[in-house]
């Protein structure tokens, strides 16, 4: 088995057929698909099973169906990893889709190279996947690279830690799993998986469609989502001695954390949160001279005041 595709299932009746169609319509030999029913309270898993049986019965042998009590997205992914027989893993959220020829392109790369990671691009869409928004920059690298300082610097500066953005050698997850009951679990996990890897192959092409789902678990701001973002930011601060380029991702995630706080909790609380976090950053090995993005530099210098100014300027631009 070359590749295991892990798809958690939870309250996706509206999207699961579109997701599965994007998989089944191009599935090739050597690929298994693991559907993990994470205790969904609706008919999502039944819809998935019926769809595969009725529309793609000849592919039944390539599907594995797993039922478990609700453990969250992290728990479902961890279960999928444990069940996987593939040499490589990938994660596909059940409201997202694969582009045509995804599997043949990935297989071609894996057949020709000994790799730890393949990284591609994704587009964002709402309800219509034909209306694509490319929201990721092209890598300055193409094809296979030994992961050196330049590669690490680029990946950490982009701070795109989505688990579904890459194909991974399964061995990379031997001593690493997704944290249970945490939002933004990708940021807790993928940077450390990446640092274990020795080789990477970049594909400067959108191979996956990421749906902006207003009902998704990270679409709504809550007390928990803010606290989990705080924990990720603090984890990155503590990880700087391990890899200095955590400084780049730290400011990106911190800016998102404080922006969410500003929207949900107001100026005073956001200011208090940034003051507390910045004290930790200043006392760490963080090097602000490493910052590459203008927005990150301004946020680090001016904090919440920069976010407020940025918001006001956007409002003025919209009115014009």
131 CB-contact burial (10 Å; exposed 0-12 / middle 13-18 / buried 19+): exposed
* Whether 176 contacts 192, CB under 8 Å: yes
Closest among 99, 131, 308 to 203, alpha carbons compared: 99
Closest among 256, 255, 134, 143 to 199, alpha carbons compared: 143
3-state SS class at 128: coil
What local confidence, expressed as pLDDT, does residue 253 receive? 97
What local confidence, expressed as pLDDT, does residue 150 receive? 96
Q: What is the pLDDT of residues 267-290, one digit of tens each?
A: 999 999 999 999 999 999 999 999
Classify residue 213 as left (phi > 0), alpha (psi -120 to 50) or beta.
beta
| 79: Cβ contacts below 8 Å, ≥ 6 apart | 36, 66, 68, 71
Q: What is the pLDDT of residues 223-232, one digit of tens each?
A: 999 999 999 9
What local confidence, expressed as pLDDT, does residue 318 receive? 64
Report in angstroms the alpha-carbon separations of 297 from 95, 168, 292.
34, 32, 7
What local confidence, expressed as pLDDT, does residue 270 receive? 97
**Domains defined for the chain, CATH in brackets:** 3-211 (3.90.550.10), 223-319 (no CATH)
Which parts of the chain have pLDDT scores under 50? none
What local confidence, expressed as pLDDT, does residue 216 receive? 62
Tokens read off for 174:
């031997």
Show the CA angle centred on residue 226, arms to residues 222 and 229, nearest 5°.
Answer: 140
Q: What is the pLDDT of residues 140-173, one digit of tens each?
A: 998 899 999 999 999 999 999 999 999 999 999 9
């Amino acid at each position: 088995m070359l590749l295991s595709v892990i798809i958690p299932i939870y309250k996706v009746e509206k999207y699961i057929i579109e997701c599965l169609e994007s998989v089944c319509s191009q599935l090739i030999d050597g690929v298994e698909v693991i559907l993990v029913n994470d205790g969904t309270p609706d008919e999502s898993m039944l819809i998935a099973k019926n769809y595969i049986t009725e529309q793609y019965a000849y592919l039944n042998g390539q599907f594995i169906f797993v039922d478990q009590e609700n453990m969250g997205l992290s728990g479902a992914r961890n279960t999928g990893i444990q069940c996987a027989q593939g040499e490589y893993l990938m994660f596909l959220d059940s409201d997202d889709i694969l582009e045509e020829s995804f599997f043949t392109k990935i297989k071609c790369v894996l057949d020709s190279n000994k790799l730890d990671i393949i990284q591609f691009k994704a587009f964002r869409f709402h309800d219509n996947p034909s209306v694509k928004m490319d929201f990721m920059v092209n890598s300055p690298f193409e094809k296979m690279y030994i992961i050196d300082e330049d590669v690490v610097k680029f990946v950490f500066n982009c701070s795109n830690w989505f688990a579904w953005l890459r194909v991974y050698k399964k061995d990379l997850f031997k001593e690493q799993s997704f944290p249970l009951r945490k939002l933004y679990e990708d940021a807790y996990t993928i940077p450390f998986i990446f640092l274990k890897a020795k080789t990477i192959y970049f594909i400067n092409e959108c191979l996956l469609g990421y749906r902006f789902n207003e009902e998704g678990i990270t679409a709504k701001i809550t007390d928990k989502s803010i606290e989990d973002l705080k924990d990720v930011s603090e984890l990155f601060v503590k990880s700087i001695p391990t890899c200095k380029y955590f400084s780049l991702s730290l400011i990106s995630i911190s800016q998102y954390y404080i922006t969410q706080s500003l929207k949900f909790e107001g100026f005073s609380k956001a200011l208090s949160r940034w003051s507390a976090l910045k004290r930790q950053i200043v006392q760490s090995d963080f090097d602000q001279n490493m910052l590459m993005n203008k927005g990150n530099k301004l946020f680090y210098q001016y904090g919440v005041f920069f976010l407020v100014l940025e918001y006001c300027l956007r409002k003025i631009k919209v009115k014009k």
